[in-house]
Structure 1
Amino acid sequence: MGEFIKFENLEEELVDLTDVLKNSLQSEVLSIKKLVKSCDKFKKISKTICNLDEAEYVIFSKYMTKQFHQSESYIFVDATGKNVCNVSGRDIDLYDMIMDCENLVEKKDQY
Structure 2
Amino acid sequence: MTDQRKTDYDALADRLTGDSPLEVAAVQVGSDAAASGRAFLLREYGGDAAIRQAIRRGRPRVGDSTPGESATVRGRIADVEYRAFMELVTELGKPQSELIREAVHLLLEHHKKLAS
Same fold (TM over 0.5): no
Q: Provide the TM-score with structure 2 as the length reference.
A: 0.23
Q: Give the greater-gyration-radius structure (CA).
A: 2
Greater fraction of residues in strand: 1
More helix by percentage: 2
With a CA cutoff of 8 Å and minimum separation of 6, indicate the structure with the bigger relative contact order.
Answer: 1
TM-score by length of structure 1 reads 0.23
